[in-house]
Structure 1
Amino acid sequence: MPDTQTLPLLLRQLRLPTVAACWPQLETRAQAEGWSLPQTLAALCEHELAERERRRLARHLKEARLPVGKTLDSFEFGAIGADHRRQLTALAGNSQWVDQAHNLLLFGPSGVGKSHVAAGLGHSLVDQGYRVRYATASSLVQELQAAKQALRLSDALTKLDKYSVLIIDDIGYVKRSEAETSVLFELIAHRYESGSLIITANQPFSAWDSIFPDSMMAVAAIDRLVHHATLLELSGESYRKRAYQRQRRGEQTASSE
């Protein structure tokens, strides 16, 4: 006759912490509702798997380093037009482009929501089970520069391979120096046809000589980025300007009451 007193220990050894925590309550329910043994086991397994999935999503969301609250649900799509909304909704809902290691390039002036859109797509992809990493271009370049100086650039690039999608925000803010742009180019070349990039930029390709001091390097980088890519140019009034105008209207309304 099995000793039920050892059950908590056995479940810990089997690494089933959720089953260990919830089996007494489920046992009571199973007895009350007349569940069979397979039904009880299925319920325990469902609880264990659901908790594992919750922890996995929480872990992947933490490592993604996405800006808090910047989801597609909180984005003001009315400011960018219906066509872009349909395209972005399709990219968020159908992740085949990620499986195919395609890129997404978001262009537009400051304040139109490029960073928000990129982060929002990142949140959607994490929810779908993909591993994502968000970083500003300047911080990522500094990270890779440090690795290169320590003769570990290849290891650093390989470490980023675990992310299906790498979001590089504000690429135009990379300093126009050989040291910085060389590691950026090596990253783009390394991920070519092997992992997706989401890149936001204030400048069109024609102005990328402000990023890459070597025109041949600029052409080579652009060629790799656009070979399998969706390009979207966002336009409209600055989000910050719209927020300021709403605040001012609210203050004026309050003062007139």
Structure 2
Amino acid sequence: MFGPPGGGKSHLAAAIGLALVENGWRVLFTRTTDLVQKLQVARRELQLESAINKLDKFDLVVLDDIAYVAKDQAETSVLFELISARYERRSILLTANQPFGEWNKVFPDPAMTLAAVDRLVHHSTIFEMNVESYRRRSAMEAKRQRGRPPVYATINDAQQIDAPRQLETQ
């Protein structure tokens, strides 16, 4: 799922995950950075293969906000290992702010970028969400509602018009 921040990618991914869980599937929803950090620890402890194999119990792994992974060889290499391990065996759902064409900002190595994207697009459905940010829309609406209610800014009936004259005559 691709789209600008605030477009609802994470909420839609969570809803899909929940629907699958309700139908008996096993789903892991995680921020990509959190999972990558756990996989890096596993790599340092020489347990990366075991950690990735443990993720096989999940029918779907939802990696939220993949674009926030630092452009660091250690982080992106464990992410690539996960993508490669699940390729054609298990499902991955990704949310990202950048389309594949900008993933050179995620993976520092162009060959790794191409290989990761190649594996991800094969057998996949791509959702491009070209929508306005929900948070921006909500903030703009809240801004319009600030201040005194409009009833105080306009004269709505004849009674309000006559009120100042009554004060003047008294």
Q: Which TM bucket (shorter chain)?
A: 0.7 to 0.9
In the TM superposition, what is the alpha-carbon distance from 1:236 to its structure 2 partner? 1.7
1:189 aligns with 2:78: no
1:117 aligns with 2:17: no
Larger Rg: 2
2:63 match: 168
Identity of aligned residues (%): 50
Separation of aligned partners in 2, 1:108 and 1:188: 21
Separation of aligned partners in 2, 1:246 and 1:126: 35
Separation of aligned partners in 2, 1:234 and 1:185: 24
2:126 match: 231
Gap runs ≥5 in structure 2: 152-170
In the TM superposition, what is the alpha-carbon distance from 1:251 to its structure 2 partner? 3.4
For residues 86-101 of structure 1, what are the structure 2 equivalents within 5 Å? none
Q: What is the TM-score normalised by the length of structure 1?
A: 0.57
Separation of aligned partners in 1, 2:57 and 2:145: 46
SS at match of 2:127: strand
1:255 match: 149
In the TM superposition, what is the alpha-carbon distance from 1:243 to its structure 2 partner? 1.3
In the TM superposition, what is the alpha-carbon distance from 1:206 to its structure 2 partner? 1.2
SS at match of 1:212: coil
For residues 197-212 of structure 1, what are the structure 2 equivalents within 5 Å? 197-212=92-107
Separation of aligned partners in 1, 2:143 and 2:58: 42
Separation of aligned partners in 2, 1:116 and 1:214: 31
Number of residue pairs the alignment of both structures matches? 151
Question: Residue by residue, what CA displacement relative to the aligned partner does 1:106-138 show, whole Å, maximum 9, x if unpaired?
Answer: 011111111111111111111111111011111
Separation of aligned partners in 1, 2:138 and 2:62: 25
1:129 match: 24
Question: Residue by residue, what CA displacement relative to the aligned partner does 1:77-134 show, whole Å, maximum 9, x if unpaired?
Answer: xxxxxxxxxxxxxxxxxxxxxxxxxxxxx01111111111111111111111111101
Separation of aligned partners in 2, 1:251 and 1:118: 33
Gap runs ≥5 in structure 1: 1-105
1:25 match: none
Separation of aligned partners in 2, 1:172 and 1:118: 15
Question: Residue by residue, what CA displacement relative to the aligned partner does 1:12-35 show, whole Å, maximum 9, x if unpaired?
Answer: xxxxxxxxxxxxxxxxxxxxxxxx
In the TM superposition, what is the alpha-carbon distance from 1:246 to its structure 2 partner? 2.7
Separation of aligned partners in 1, 2:106 and 2:140: 33
1:240 aligns with 2:135: yes
Separation of aligned partners in 1, 2:131 and 2:67: 19
- Over aligned residues, Cα RMSD in angstroms? 1.2
SS at match of 1:197: strand
2:156 match: none
Separation of aligned partners in 1, 2:39 and 2:78: 6
The structure with the largest helix share of the pair is: 1
2:44 match: 149
SS at match of 1:159: helix
2:162 match: none
Separation of aligned partners in 1, 2:139 and 2:105: 31
